[in-house]
Amino acid sequence: MTVQKQNHVPTKVQSSEYQLNEQVGYKLRLASQWHLEIFSRHLPEMTPTQFSILARLSEVGEMSQNKLGRLVAMDAATTKGVITRLIQRGLVRSRQDNEDKRRLQISLTDHGKKELDIATAKAKDITKETTERLTEREVARLLTLLDKL
């Protein structure tokens, strides 16, 4: 799907009425679609959620599947599906926790570490392209504002 970057769409709606183009959710969705299009162009072999899992494992190290899901803001069912696909690709491994056999511990494989290194370099380009219309100060402000949401 190609997303057209739009600055402003003229409307016949009176200023006191609801204007979709001025709504935070609408603008966030457009920005997200724009970013996802750029992401898929640079990293077609990986989804943003898969990248998030790999990046978080690299930052924190082995952890339970439930904790990993929480740290990347995904529900349990989504986390399970993403991890299953990453295991199938040989990027992560799972093992039973020594203390609680019901708990799975997830970690990066050597292959996963190599793929993450490649993906991280591309992720920097993705961020740069996503924010190319912003100054460094505007990017910093945007990140601050998004954290407040």
CA 92/CA 108 separation, integer angstroms: 4
Whether residue 55 contacts residue 117, with contact meaning beta carbons closer than 8 Å, is answered with no
Q: Which tens digits make up the pLDDT trace of 68-115?
A: 999 999 998 999 999 999 999 999 999 998 888 788 899 999 999 999
Whether residue 118 contacts residue 109, with contact meaning beta carbons closer than 8 Å, is answered with no
Whether residue 53 contacts residue 92, with contact meaning beta carbons closer than 8 Å, is answered with yes
Q: How many CB atoms lie within 10 A of CB 74?
A: 18
Tell me if 128 is assigned to some domain. no
Tell me if 12 is assigned to some domain. no
Tell me if 63 is assigned to some domain. yes
DSSP letters, 105-132, are EEEE-HHHHHHHHHHHHHHHHHHHHHTT
Tell me if 107 is assigned to some domain. yes
Tell me if 78 is assigned to some domain. yes
What's the pLDDT at 124?
A: 95
Number of domains in the chain: 1
Which CATH number is 76's domain given? 1.10.10.10
Tell me if 87 is assigned to some domain. yes
Mean pLDDT rounded to a whole number for the chain: 90
Over residues 28-36, the mean pLDDT reads 95
Range of the domain at 57: 46-121
Tell me if 59 is assigned to some domain. yes
What's the pLDDT at 100?
A: 80
Tell me if 26 is assigned to some domain. no
